[in-house]
Chain A
């Protein structure tokens, strides 16, 4: 049997939040929720896993730090040692204070850029990407709950209406 997609549209985020809890309590999987603004507590209600962005940030920071250290070691110690104001230039650790700003900046640069890129890739966003949003009104004042179901639509529709959906649409096949 083919899958049908239902869109329950809500006028108020609190009603939506209650409906999300109710729908999930009935063991029905919610595919996605669209909202004009972040709703406090929605991630918990949807049972979303905690973001792993912090871990990637740490890894990217470490990459930036080590690349910067390698780069500056190669430039200032191995390849072309320079006598700047009589500062020690034969060993890395003696000249370390001068390198810290560079290593710090590279850590930030790598962490920030790679995190942004990771975020965009994970969300399928790139220049010219088509919007996933099934209803443009969710960028204005409506809240939308997307549910994929097999089989009986009527019961689900009844439940959504009971939980405060003002409008229920079906995805065009």
Chain B
């Protein structure tokens, strides 16, 4: 098998060098507890949800899936004016962390940047993590949070017809699954979906998954750990549902317009490319960016790098076009 990996972008390679002792490419089940406790994992999400007072921040418990606990939503809306009678766009954010790590503040900084530029409200959902809570706990939490958000958008000063769903990594996979669930269950229809380096395919067997083994961030071993935590023995088998792993969906038609990006030097490259291609084949709308030499999560870990700046700018430009802002 041809396993020569694409080279990392020079700046990203240098940044990776400085993380080497904190972030290994692989992740095993034994690492999950330890990583949840180390400050470095907290550092991924260590953010100020108020953005220096720009946003008013509210944590709200809303009804969870039937028979399940409430879901916690972190709500950030521009401070200073009463929320009523406004119809801002709303970004419904689902955090990443391989289905096993993180909380609703992880990766929030990037989303709050969009909200400042777009004058939008942000809702970030807390969902139950695997392996303690296997499929479908997490994605049903995400779905329940979205239902509440769409119903109460007006209360939050937002327009229910202008909700963008967004997430990175596992959050990207969950966001893609959310789009499928909303379509199939005839729920509220988001205006767009942002899938950033999404985790879509439990089979973990693409050329990029093999090619990047032991390299960069979140390699094939880590991916297997994440999916196995979520699906147990079903992982990679014949009966994995599309709401667990969106790559398994037979039908990708009638989905909201998608913004999809991924690095060329990461495990998720090929499943992401395939997902975009299948949306187009199904007559859908998608914008795909493949950033050369980028490893998984580069824009969060090395936000200064030229490629990370380009990535952020491309996402924001798409949102501006989508929302006509």
Do A and B originate from a single complex? no
Which B residues are closer than 8 A to A by beta carbons? Answer: none
